[in-house]
Amino acid sequence: MFLRVEKLLCELPEASQPDPVAAQVVQELMGGQCGEMSTLMNYTFQSFNFRGKKEAKPFYDLLASITAEEMGHIELVANTVNGLLQGAAPRVEGKPESAPLKGMYDTGLPHHFLRGGQSSLPTNALGMPWNGDYVYNSGDLMLDMLHNFFLESGARISKLRVYESTDNPIARELCGFLLVRGGVHQLTWTKALEKLTGVEVSKMLNIPRINLAEIPEAQKWMAIGEHTRLYRFSPDDYRDIVAVFNGTHPEDGSELYVSEDFPTGGAVPPGEPEPQVFAPGYHPEELVEIAQRLLKNANAEPIKVNGRSSKASTSATVTATRKTRR
């Protein structure tokens, strides 16, 4: 089973520069062939389908724990796309004749505005849906590990190219962090192949030849050892990953280790309403009223908006408080 924690794996800068073109490019890291949906679903199916979980437990444990981290990577990519789209169209409520979305279809991905609520989609940068054919799970452990090594290598080159395509701080923060964590996963699969075959696969690194010293957003993570640490993402399970993830980092010689802790992480951005695309539909104040009433009925803590407790509403029905958009 999975446990969800209300945190992102890393702190993202606050959305300040709407950039629908960068949002479109970042979609490749979501639903592209080597995007985060692909790493997530490859490890998900490989762990679900793993035969010989007892006999080959360290390898199963690796797939199981890294699956959880990839889920967190999808969450980071989605929040990055959403941050880049925040404020990307004029915020007008109930004035369709002013054509607030005019021009949005000439820049970035039209589906961000047409299909979604100015938010991320499970597609690549061209708007093509993520494809289940990107999952490779032959059942042969060595072949699957080899595929995963290729997948993480492909993922890293996409991240570098996205980084090179934008100077937007949210997108760059995402790429810097994912380049470091993708490097850890890439190394993990080389270690797995080494333990299985004796072949020193890590000598093939660095593929692609990315010099992370030239990327400040990656450097700060390396300075605190994030490139040498693997997380179990479980209160007590998957301890046998340590049987594979050990030794030293092939590039800087630092000691590899399995963390007993969860990542510190960062806050989940609140996501400002975008009334021109009816997201979230109700007026924000109406939503607070509705939620306060529900919480009062459930004897739960009142919601704090901007640090202040909001008064519980006494409105009779939800529909009575809804404003009509005209």
**Which residues of this protein are in contact with Mn ion, per CB under 5 A?**
36, 39, 70, 73, 182, 185
Considering beta carbons, is residue 23 or 77 the nearer one to Mn ion?
Answer: 77
Considering beta carbons, is residue 71 or 170 the nearer one to Mn ion?
Answer: 71
Kindly state the smallest distance separating residue 281's Cβ from Mn ion, in Å: 32
Kindly state the smallest distance separating residue 224's Cβ from Mn ion, in Å: 19
CB atoms closer than 10 angstroms to residue 236:
6
Considering beta carbons, is residue 67 or 292 the nearer one to Mn ion?
Answer: 67
Kindly state the smallest distance separating residue 298's Cβ from Mn ion, in Å: 37
Kindly state the smallest distance separating residue 36's Cβ from Mn ion, in Å: 5
Tell me the angle at which helices 20-31 and 57-85 cross, rounded to the nearest 10 degrees. 160
Considering beta carbons, is residue 176 or 182 the nearer one to Mn ion?
Answer: 182
How far is 177 from 80, CA to CA, in rounded Å?
Answer: 12
Tell the burial category of 23 from Cβ atoms under 10 Å away from its Cβ (0-12, 13-18, 19+): buried
Kindly state the smallest distance separating residue 23's Cβ from Mn ion, in Å: 19
Considering beta carbons, is residue 81 or 288 the nearer one to Mn ion?
Answer: 81
Q: What's 188's DSSP letter?
A: H
Tell me the angle at which helices 20-31 and 169-197 cross, rounded to the nearest 10 degrees. 20
Kindly state the smallest distance separating residue 70's Cβ from Mn ion, in Å: 5
Considering beta carbons, is residue 39 or 123 the nearer one to Mn ion?
Answer: 39
How far is 150 from 146, CA to CA, in rounded Å?
Answer: 6
How far is 80 from 264, CA to CA, in rounded Å?
Answer: 18
Closest to 148 measured CA to CA, from 12, 34, 56, 295 = 34
Closest to 305 measured CA to CA, from 277, 286, 324 = 286
Closest to 123 measured CA to CA, from 102, 107, 104, 108 = 108
What is the distance of C-alpha 208 from the center of its chain?
22
